[in-house]
Structure 1
């Protein structure tokens, strides 16, 4: 009975950010784009429009995200993009975004990077940087 009461407790906003999955954020931030496109090589683009192929990842997976975006771009002929989901703008999230930005700048990658917070309601509200 006690366990049931604990699991039924409402989540506070900071807990909601951790309860959401990458798919939940993909659906929010990729609104208006095609999603989950399977490419001929078997990979799956999170979202894409006529200009950009985008990987959506939590900030801790920044390295994986940049690699996937570059692969999608090579296969589709579109510009690569990464949406980094920051559950915590301070600390590790900021460090992850700086690492991704450093790699993009060093290698002069033609990539777009968005830094999105759980409170951002749409991609247009996220911080955007084009390289």
Structure 2
């Protein structure tokens, strides 16, 4: 039996491959799929999708936190952070595909804003 991804059925093997890639990159399966199809999508659309993912993960994290499911809430909060960093990276033309890229985005923003974002980012990792 396959796995449904928002109405798209994929084989268990394909899903497991996507999941392994997502875990290795500290991303969600949705973000991995978006990363691979992004080359064929307008940058403005990619930013919009990343922002919608950010809102979705943040909302879900808050629900899980309210129910006391802290482990899963933490995963969703991380997804919200990475989706937001992806949107920023996309908008600025910065690489945003690896954990290292995220750290570099945070460092650049920290320098721009004069804020200790690196320390805050380290606390959510």
TM-score tier after normalising by the smaller chain length = 0.3 to 0.5
Q: Which structure carries more helix by proportion? A: 2
- After TM superposition, the score normalised by the length of structure 1 is 0.32
Looking at CA atoms only, which structure, 1 or 2, has the larger radius of gyration?
Answer: 1
